[in-house]
Amino acid sequence: MRLITLTAVMALAAGACAGASKHASLLARPMPAKKAAAAGPLGMNQTGPTRVASATATTPREEHKEKLVVEAWIAMKAKSVPSAVDAIRSQVSSLGGRIVNESLGGAATSWNAHMRVRVPPTGVSGFIGWLGGQGDITSKRVRGTDVSRTLFDQKIALGNLTQTMQRLRKLLESPGLDIAEILKIEKELTRLRGRIETIKGARRFLADRVTMATVDIQLSRKQGAIMDPKAKFYPGARFSSLLLFDRDPGQQRTRFGGGVSIYTFPEAATGEAPRISIDLDFYENADGKGRGFIASMGSALYSDFFGRGKRRFLNPYLQFRLGYGHINESSFVAGGGAGIELFKHKRMLIDLSVNAVAFIRDDVKAGLVGTLGAVFAF
pLDDT, tens digit, for every residue of 34-72? 333 333 333 333 333 333 333 334 444 545 578 889 999
Domain boundary among the residues 210, 226, 242 is at 226
Domain boundary among the residues 193, 226, 259 is at 226
Whether 328 and 259 map to the same domain: the answer is yes
Give residue 201's pLDDT band: very low, low, confident or very high (50, 70, 90). very high
Whether 239 and 346 map to the same domain: the answer is yes
Instruction: Answer yes or no: is 186 within a domain.
Output: yes
Give residue 245's pLDDT band: very low, low, confident or very high (50, 70, 90). confident
Q: Are 266 and 231 in contact (CB under 8 A)?
A: no
pLDDT score of 6: 46
SS3 state at 231: coil
pLDDT, tens digit, for every residue of 129-140? 999 998 899 999
Whether 209 and 238 map to the same domain: the answer is no
Number of domains, the chain? 2
Instruction: Answer yes or no: is 58 within a domain.
Output: no
Alpha carbons 194 and 192: distance in angstroms, whole number: 5
pLDDT, tens digit, for every residue of 5-45? 445 445 444 454 444 433 333 333 333 333 333 333 333 33
pLDDT, tens digit, for every residue of 186-200? 999 999 999 999 999
Whether 141 and 163 map to the same domain: the answer is yes
pTM comes to 0.47
Whether 114 and 219 map to the same domain: the answer is yes
Domain boundary among the residues 192, 226, 260 is at 226
Q: Residue 131: which domain range?
A: 1-29+66-226
User: What percent helix, strand, coil does the chain show, rounded to 5?
Assistant: 35, 40, 30
Alpha carbons 375 and 276: distance in angstroms, whole number: 13
Question: Domain containing 357 — which CATH number?
Answer: 2.40.160.20
Q: Is the pLDDT of residue 290 over 90?
A: no
- Long-range (24+ apart) CB contacts under 8 A made by 51-60 are 53/159, 53/160, 53/163, 54/159, 54/163, 55/23, 55/156, 55/159, 55/160, 55/163, 56/23, 56/26, 56/27, 58/27, 58/31, 59/27, 59/152
- Mean pLDDT score, 188-214: 92
pLDDT score of 16: 46
Highest mean pLDDT among 76-80, 233-237, 301-305, 346-350: 76-80
Question: Could you tell me whether strands 364-376 and 292-302 are parallel, antiparallel, or unpaired per DSSP bridges?
Answer: unpaired
Whether 93 and 145 map to the same domain: the answer is yes
Whether 276 and 337 map to the same domain: the answer is yes
Whether 166 and 255 map to the same domain: the answer is no
Whether 250 and 174 map to the same domain: the answer is no
Whether 154 and 246 map to the same domain: the answer is no
Residue partners of 197: CB distance under 8 A and separation at least 6:
none
